């Protein structure tokens, strides 16, 4: 009658794979607790850590909306529960904050109901949470948050998702500066058309990154962590973007780009020690511009 679920932050896009690549990290993450109650209906009992910014109305909060959709789909009309959301991640951070909340919620509900659906089957519901949070039902945060590892969304219609292996010694450094970028805005500023020249570069890098990860070819990973389509436009939303990126590369990161829609930035490195050193150098660059930041290092 009680379930507590944790869902991790995620790095979406991974440089060249806008809306199609994403991986989960160890921390941070959001936690959802749900308690069964006798009366039907879903009630938000509490939200911690959001400074009162998220809607308390279950019909407007992404976590409870996806739960209600799942109940509808399963034609369960007499179920009732109280939900507590522990928002451990800042909003608009580029670390898949809204995705982690929706995933923790839908996962907890599915557990409480006795696992009627598999994780894969829960994915479209979690994607609906993204539509509510930012207007677009992308899967590159909710997918890896729900399923773990490094995920590729090969197609959205129909939804076709698979996981690839990554080298054991591959570490992610995620640096979250204390500024906020609204995902909806960060999508709005993108162009709808891509030149053939840029499409060719990007396809080469997407193919190279997948092969590099699966074959443990760190040089190929490094050469492929290039985004010629989205990063050049979004970089302007992040103060000190170029300086932070250069500092990361100078300390031995394989590559550095924007995490999701930003402002967090991520790198991939060979080995934990390098990943930690890279994080400190990036934090230092933000600090020089008087921007506080948090560092998270995890194996992928």
Both structure tokens of 119: 């994780």
Q: Of residues 86-115, which lie at the interface with ligand HSE (CB under 6 A)?
A: 96
Q: Do the Cβ atoms of 256 and 265 come closer than 8 Å?
A: yes
Residue whose CB is less far from ligand HSE, 86 or 138: 138
Q: Of these, 93, 141, 222, 257, which contacts ligand HSE (CB under 6 A)?
A: 141
Number of residues that bind ligand HSE (CB under 6 A): 13
Q: Which pair of structure tokens corresponds to residue 286?
A: 């933000």
Nearer to ligand HSE, 183 or 202 (CB): 183
Interacting residue with ligand HSE among 87, 107, 123, 138 (CB under 6 A): 138
Closest CB to ligand HSE among residues 187, 223: 187
Smallest distance, Å, CB 156 to ligand HSE?
12
Under rule CB under 6 A, residue 264 binds ligand HSE = no
Q: Name the strand (E) or helix (H) holding 242.
A: helix 241-250
Residue 256 β-bridge partners? 267
Tokens found for residue 186: 């960060």
Kindly list the catalytic residues: 130, 183
CA–CA separation, 196 and 205 (whole Å): 14
Between the CA atoms of 212, 215, 216 and 222, what dihedral angle is there, to the nearest 10 degrees? -10
CB of 92: closest distance to ligand HSE in angstroms? 10
Based on the shown chain and the rule CB under 6 A, indicate whether residue 187 belongs to the binding site for ligand HSE: yes
Binder to ligand HSE among 12, 81, 172, 254 (CB under 6 A)? 12
Stretch that binds ligand HSE, among 134-142, 153-161, 247-255, 274-282 (CB under 6 A): 134-142
Residue 169 to residue 226: CA distance in whole angstroms: 21
CA distances from 240 to 90, 275, 282 (A): 20, 20, 10
Spatial distance between the Cα atoms of 268 and 160, rounded to a whole number of angstroms? 25
Residue ranges binding ligand HSE (CB under 6 A)? 12-13, 18-19, 96, 138, 140-141, 183, 186-187, 260-261
């Amino acid at each position: 009658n009680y379930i507590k679920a944790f869902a991790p932050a995620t790095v979406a896009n991974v440089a060249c794979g806008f809306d199609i690549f994403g991986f989960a990290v160890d921390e941070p993450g959001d936690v959802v607790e749900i308690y069964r109650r006798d009366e039907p209906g879903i009630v938000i009992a509490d939200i911690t850590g959001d400074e009162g910014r998220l809607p308390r109305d279950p019909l407007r909060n992404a976590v409870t909306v996806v739960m209600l959709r799942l109940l509808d789909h399963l034609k369960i009309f007499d179920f009732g529960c109280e939900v507590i959301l522990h928002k451990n991640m800042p909003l608009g951070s580029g670390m898949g904050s809204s995705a982690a909340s929706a995933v923790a919620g839908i996962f907890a509900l599915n557990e409480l109901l006795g696992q009627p659906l598999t994780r894969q089957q829960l994915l479209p519901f979690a994607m609906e949470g993204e539509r509510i949070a930012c207007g677009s039902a992308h899967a590159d945060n909710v997918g890896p948050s729900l399923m773990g590892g490094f995920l590729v969304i090969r197609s959205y219609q129909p939804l076709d998702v698979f996981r690839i292996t990554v080298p054991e010694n591959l570490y992610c450094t995620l640096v979250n500066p204390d500024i906020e970028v609204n995902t909806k805005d960060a999508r709005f500023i993108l162009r709808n058309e891509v030149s053939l020249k840029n499409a060719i570069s990007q396809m080469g890098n997407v193919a190279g990154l997948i092969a590099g990860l699966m074959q443990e070819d760190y040089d190929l990973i490094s050469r492929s962590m290039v985004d010629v389509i989205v990063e050049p436009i979004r970089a302007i939303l992040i103060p000190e973007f170029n300086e932070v990126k250069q500092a990361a590369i100078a300390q031995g990161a394989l590559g550095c780009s924007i995490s999701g829609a930003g402002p967090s930035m991520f790198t991939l490195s060979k080995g934990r020690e390098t990943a930690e050193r890279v994080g400190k150098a990036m934090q230092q660059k933000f600090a020089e511009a008087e921007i506080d930041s948090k560092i998270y290092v995890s194996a992928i």
